Amino acid sequence: MNQEQHEKACQEKFGQPWPEVHAFLDQYFDLARSMTHRVILHHRKGIELVVEKFGEAARGPAEQHVELDFGFIPDGPADMDKYFCPTSWEEERLVKEQIKALFGLPDDWRSEPEEFFNKMVLVRSTDNAVIETLLKHANYTGEIIQCGDNWGFAAYFDIPRPTKENCREANEFITQAIKHGADYYQCSVLATWTNLELFVFEGRKEPL
């Protein structure tokens, strides 16, 4: 969800938008322009930092922010391996440095370099069951989000060169999306990943 959506949800539940809480939780967006930025603060340890900065009244808005983005509240960065999908070695280094500075890192967390992704496929459907099914056909994904009457998520693929073999997994995923009647859009992670919410909400497929 974007800032405006989070503020609207807070206004409805808490009587005020709490923009400072949402800005705090998403402050590392420019550090890691992928879902990976959420690994830094979108968990209970991050919520405690919100409370320290803005007071106990900010706990509810912070918890709602994380729940709306993930559907649950992780305990800390070590519980968010699925969402750690950096798009470059530099992004991984910067995120890990920030997490270490704030909370420390478990000795066994991401000790080996992971695969990096330069392509993704966005999918959306009005049937959440379809989206849940498609989630099982992708190894690396962001969280499922709901925008309006639609549900969707982003599936990530490592395609260093667009050969038939390199594109096989992405093409198989797209085949499943078509089979289940879901709308899809394949694009570059770095160029258009921020369009996920607009794509899910209104089917928009152009970069911002």
Longest dimension (CA), the chain: 54
Is the separation of the CB atoms in 186 and 172 below 8 Å? Answer: no
- What integer pLDDT is reported at residue 208 of this predicted model? 43
pLDDT, tens digit, for every residue of 10-47? 999 999 999 999 999 999 988 876 678 889 999 999 99
Work out the mean pLDDT of the chain and round it to a whole number.
Answer: 83
Q: What is the pLDDT of residue 31?
A: 81
> What percent of the chain is predicted at pLDDT more than 90?
42
124: tokens are 């959306």
Residue 110's pLDDT is 62
Residue 20, classed as helix, strand or coil, is helix
pTM over 0.75: no
Check pLDDT > 90 for residue 85: no
pLDDT at 207 > cutoff 70: no
DSSP state of 202: H
8 A C-beta contact, residue 25 and residue 37: no
Q: How many CB atoms lie within 10 A of CB 63?
A: 16
Which domains does the chain carry? 3-103 (no CATH), 119-202 (3.30.70)
* pLDDT exceeds 50 at position 71: yes
**Residue with the larger pLDDT of the pair 44 and 156:** 44
User: What is the model's pLDDT at position 54?
Assistant: 97
**96 and 145 Cβ atoms separated by less than 8 Å:** no
Mean pLDDT on 103-115? 63
pLDDT tens-digit series, residues 111-152? 554 555 567 888 999 999 999 999 988 878 878 999 989 999
Whether residue 108 has pLDDT greater than 80: no
Residues 6+ apart with CB under 8 A from 131: 123, 124, 125, 144, 151, 152, 153, 182
Q: What is the pLDDT of residue 8?
A: 93
More confident residue, 131 or 108: 131
Q: What is the pLDDT of residues 160-183, one digit of tens each?
A: 555 667 678 888 999 999 999 999
Closest CA to 5 of 154, 183, 160, 145: 145
Q: What is the mean pLDDT of residues 151-163?
A: 77
